Copies of this chain bind each other. A is one copy, B any other.
Amino acid sequence: MKGTLLFAQSGGPTAVINASAAGVIRRAQQCGFSKILCARYGIDGILKKQLYDVTHMTESQLRLLADTPASAFGSCRLKLPDPDVNSEIYLWIKEVFRQYDVRCFVYNGGNDSMDTCNKVARYFKKSRYDCAVIGVPKTVDNDLVGTHHCPGYGSAAKFVATCMTEIALDTAVYEKGRVTICEIMGRDAGWLTAASVVAKPDLICLPEVPFDVRAFYDKAMDVYDAKGRCLIALSEGIRDKAGRYVGEAGQKDSFNHTQLGGAAAFLADCITQKFGVKTRAIEFSLPTRAAGHLQSLADRRDAEACGRHAVELALQGKTDVMVTLEWQDGKSVCGSFDLHHIANEVKRVPLQYVTEKGSNVSETFLDYVLPLMEGESHPRYQRGVPVYFDSSVLKTIGR
């Protein structure tokens, strides 16, 4: 295919985001694009013409790239204006695209990035610039609509399930244990927290269920009294009935002093104060999305397939669509979804999975999550640590 393919990454990283990049680049090489460029720092790099030329990346570089967590080309969180209201920035994007003869633009990101993608596609249609604009999904939160699951989720779920399994062992070693509260990423969706069901914690609190702190104390203390310990998986995004984040409530005390830590630290401290019980708060934090050493093979394959499929869709003349993953006969199949359906909607965990009056997750959720975590794609280790792609080998091309 003639012309240039331009790829960019956006939003928060995942363990397999670069597997999608490898999928795009490899397929674009096979299809004979005259040039393949990657923007540095997402759409921001396009505006600043900071572009890497990856036309001739080797297969071994692509494999190492796919091993590597966190956006190798850099990311941004730039929110573009509505092109119907303010088209200035789009005019500039079109000029840059023209300069490099970009005829296919693949943008890899989450909700906000799909919104960006849709705006660029709309502007190109309106201003009659012939360029396929294809979104590739990625988010550890798994909250994108239109797709059965998202690349990035399976590996993060594998991290959550593995760490919870190990923490469950660790917290059971003493006859008299603690109340241990693990705080898990996922913003307003509980998909990642729900993955902890693999390790069978005593309570699982999702943001899909309004958080009732009294009922929470009652349940936690009942378990503690019966077992001598209690292990809890808690979404960072839990909110009370009034919609206030529990972590947020914890950030200021009644004297307006800033308090540190999120929901888990806040609740653990409250339990210690109220009931005189030893507690521990563990925030899974950023390693959840960065743990390349725990890539799920299924997730990595999905991520690569989505990248490849983006190029296919462009070759088929599609634009303004996001690649999706459908679930057919126990495996992922790529499809597509109109981008304008996606913007700003959040896919949440269906309440059918919630059990025990909102304090646990049904084991039927395993049917959803286990296949996405399946298989290991161990990176190569050198002297004890994983070897990852070094972005400094990439060459930026001129402005």
Contact = CB atoms under 8 A, between A and B. Distances in A.
B293 A166 contact: yes
A21 to B, nearest CB: 13
Interface size class of chain A, counting residues whose CB lies under 8 Å from the partner chain: 35 or more
Interface majority SS (helix, strand, loop, mixed), chain A: mixed
A388 B167 CA distance: 12
B169 A68 contact: yes
A384 B266 contact: no
A249 to B, nearest CB: 12
A170 B384 contact: no
Contact of A388 (B169, B260, B290): B169
B383 A76 contact: no
Contacts of A71: 173
A196 to B, nearest CB: 11
- Report how many copies the assembly holds: 2
Contacts of A291: 163, 166
A250 B260 CA distance: 9
A174 interface: yes
B255 A170 contact: no
A41 to B, nearest CB: 5
Nearest to A198: B385
A44 interface: yes
A240 B308 CA distance: 54
A386 interface: yes
Smallest CB-CB A-B distances: 5 pairs: A373-B384, A260-B261, A70-B169, A166-B290, A170-B290
